[in-house]
């Protein structure tokens, strides 16, 4: 047993999201859907392994999604969890964090981990004009 909570993901874009990569090390729960349809949401339960003989410093989960129908090499983002940390990495496209902060290509956005709670990640708009919303700090 370890820290656990939910990640609510909202795809408010016209693009289907297709999972291209998933990896977990010392995660009791880290399973993301193969696709997330446009204008839908999913709730993912995440739990870190914090057992008695477990080194928690290297707990890690990663998942990559691409926005279907966008130009190749311009449509992937990644969600990464490490113990008590949850981030979005914008590998191939920029996004705008409402109201006025840009997240550049290659930029990282801290989503905010909520033990026994819910972290929120929302990607809105369409390719070329994407906006991201998350939990308040």
Tell me, yes or no, whether 67 lies in a domain: yes
Tell me, yes or no, whether 52 lies in a domain: no
Tell me, yes or no, whether 54 lies in a domain: no
- In the chain, the number of structural domains is 1
> Scanning the structure block, which residue is given the tokens 């956005």?
109
Per-residue pLDDT tens digits for 75-119: 889 999 887 778 888 877 777 766 666 788 888 888 888 888 899
What single string gives the DSSP state of each residue in 84-134?
A: TEEEEEESSS-EEETTTEEE-TTEEEE----TTSEEEEEEEEETTEEEEEE
Per-residue pLDDT tens digits for 40-74: 999 999 998 877 766 666 789 999 999 999 888 88
């Amino acid at each position: 047993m370890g820290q656990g909570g939910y990640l609510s993901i909202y795809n408010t874009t016209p693009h289907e999201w297709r999972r291209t990569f998933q990896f977990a090390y010392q995660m009791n729960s880290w399973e993301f859907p193969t696709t997330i349809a446009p204008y839908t949401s999913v709730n993912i339960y995440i739990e870190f392994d914090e057992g008695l003989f477990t080194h928690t410093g290297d707990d890690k989960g990663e998942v990559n999604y691409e926005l279907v129908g966008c130009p190749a090499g311009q449509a992937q983002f990644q969600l990464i969890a490490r113990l008590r940390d949850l981030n979005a990495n914008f590998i191939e496209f920029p996004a705008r964090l409402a109201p006025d902060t840009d997240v550049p290509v290659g930029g990282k956005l801290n989503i905010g981990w909520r033990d026994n709670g819910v972290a929120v990640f929302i990607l809105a708009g369409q390719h070329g004009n994407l906006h991201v919303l998350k939990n308040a700090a």
